[in-house]
Amino acid sequence: MIALLLRDLRLATRAGGGFGLSLAFFLIVTVLVPFGVGPEGGTLARIAPGILWVGALLASLLSLDRIFALDHEDGSLDILVTAPIPLEGAVLVKAAAHWLVTGLPLTLAAPVLAVLLHLPGPGFFWMTVSLALGTPALSVIGTFGAALTVGLKRGGLLLSLLVLPLYIPTLIFGADCARRGAEGLTAGTPLLMLAGITLGALAILPFAAAAAIRANLR
């Protein structure tokens, strides 16, 4: 499992592996928003949690098609299916690798980029907490979508169409948690819902993704 995780991290960080692409996209979205809606601080502060969450969600989509595509092309996916380790465990490792190269950098960069959107002081903590708790769900759901479309030519668009509706609950509760925290309100309820989505995705989707991979390789 550890060897598989290290291999995926090496593939993601080498030239052309896509590391940093999501972070660059997140930065571009955050920088462009003030040009589109105006520099008024009050307006930016109100929309900052939603903009940051939408940017993180869209940024996480950029590298989803790479999760299983390279393994399918070089035959490694067939080896994973027949390996003695459970395929569900391999799916979880793939999701963890995706989160380490996309979700974690986005979570760490969000408080810095929030300064550009005039996010109120209390919102910095809740923005970071909501992304730290919600981005693992984005990676697991994205891994499930990648498993459904593995082997399909030009499956990137189909993958986005499949995954985006599943991302909506995470987006709603994540942005609401950050917004409530920024306004000084209690953020416990959306935070618990966000935690429930992440735990539910971790418990169910690796099995669904493994079944999808087995079906696509028959």
Mean pLDDT, 10 residues at a time, the chain of 218 residues: 80 66 89 86 88 93 83 79 84 92 92 90 92 95 91 77 93 94 90 95 94 84
Q: Which residue range(s) make up the domain with 182?
A: 2-216
Q: Is the dihedral of CA 157, 158, 161, 162 positive or negative?
A: negative
**What's the pLDDT tens digit per position in 135-165?**
999 999 999 999 988 877 766 778 888 899 9
Q: What is the predicted pLDDT for the residue at 3?
A: 78
d(CA 172, CA 59): 17
Token pair recorded at residue 33:
């928003």
The residue assigned the tokens 């999760």 is 67
Q: Which residue, 76, 104, 59, 78, is CA-closest to 3? A: 76
The domain total for the chain is 1
The gap from C-alpha 110 to its chain's centroid, in whole angstroms, comes to 13
Q: Is the dihedral of CA 208, 71, 93, 30 positive or negative?
A: negative
Q: Which residue, 121, 114, 144, is CA-closest to 53? A: 114
Q: What is the predicted pLDDT for the residue at 8?
A: 78
Q: In 114-141, which positions are buried (b, 16+ CB within 10 angstroms) versus exposed (e)? A: bebbbbeeebbebbbbbbbbbbbbbbbb
Q: Kindly report the CA angle at 197 between 185 and 201, in degrees rounded to 5? A: 160
Q: What is the predicted pLDDT for the residue at 19?
A: 67
**HSE-CB of 217 using CA atoms within 13 angstroms:** 21
d(CA 88, CA 204): 10
CB 144 within 8 A of CB 187: no
Q: Is the dihedral of CA 15, 108, 56, 7 positive or negative?
A: positive
Q: What is the predicted pLDDT for the residue at 75?
A: 77
